[in-house]
Amino acid sequence: MSETQNGEVFEAIKVHNFSEKILEQSIHFHVMKLSGGFFLWVGSSPDSMPLSTLVMGDPSNTAANSLAQRLAKKTKKQVYVSYSLPMTDNNFSLLVEKRIKKELELLPEHF
């Protein structure tokens, strides 16, 4: 659905949710498709999705920024990421990213 205002077309925000069990942990993904980009939330509980997000934060936690950069490069869109998972294992993070990319390939219209 789109809306026209002053001759400009604005796309409605579209929401897409998916989940996956990764290394015995249920991981939930929430995508909000925006005009020209998307917001991606990744967490272990669908009820823990933040009502607000930290735009500028702890520079030592680079997971969200790194993931956003790689997804932006792949999609050629502006990407915002909220990564609400503990950084305990690099292999785990790679599996999470692999699952996101799989969803992106299967359902690109949601990103």
Beta strand spans in 1-111 (E): 2-5, 8-11, 14-22, 25-34, 37-43, 78-84
Whole-number pLDDT of residue 72:
95
CATH number of the structural domain spanning residue 85: 3.30.230.90
Containing domain of residue 8, as a range?
2-110
Q: How many domains does the chain have?
A: 1
Whole-number pLDDT of residue 50:
58
Spatial separation of the C-alpha atoms in residues 111 and 105, rounded to whole Å = 10
Give the tens place of pLDDT for each residue, 33-90: 998 999 999 998 877 655 555 555 555 667 888 999 999 999 999 999 988 888 778 8
Spatial separation of the C-alpha atoms in residues 29 and 49, rounded to whole Å = 10
pTM (global) more than 0.85: no
Give the tens place of pLDDT for each residue, 89-109: 889 999 999 999 999 999 999
* Average pLDDT value for residue range 12-36: 94
